[in-house]
Amino acid sequence: MSTIDFPISVSYQGELLIGKINLVNNYLVATLTSPFVGQKSIHYGWAASVCGVHVLDYEGNFTEDAIGTARSLLIKIYQQAQPEYKAREKEKKLKELRKKIEEVENE
């Protein structure tokens, strides 16, 4: 079973996180599309259903619980991607600085 991508967003530490969610074989899949790209999922199985926790309502729409969980997953994706992104940006700036220094030295 797979549902159509459902757009979702959440604000976290002044940053707007934009993504989408869908359901694939009882897995709620959250995909962060901006400002970084990443994906996490969580399984909603029989035990969740018995406890009254559902991903979809009777009309096939995502439940508030599913949307809240997906927003939490977007934040987790962002938290994990942020240090890697900052490290890449720092390395990029260092390379640009080294190139400028080489250009000045070669003049």
Map out the domains of the chain as residue ranges: 6-82
Q: d(Cα 23, Cα 29) in Å, to the nearest integer? A: 6
pLDDT at 2 over 70: no
Q: What is the pLDDT of residues 48-89, one digit of tens each?
A: 878 888 888 889 899 999 999 999 999 999 999 887 777 777
Decide if pLDDT at 104 tops 80. yes
Residue 29 has pLDDT above 90, yes or no: yes
The set of long-range contacts for 59-63, using a CB threshold of 8 Å and a minimum separation of 24, is 60/3, 62/3, 62/6, 62/21, 62/23
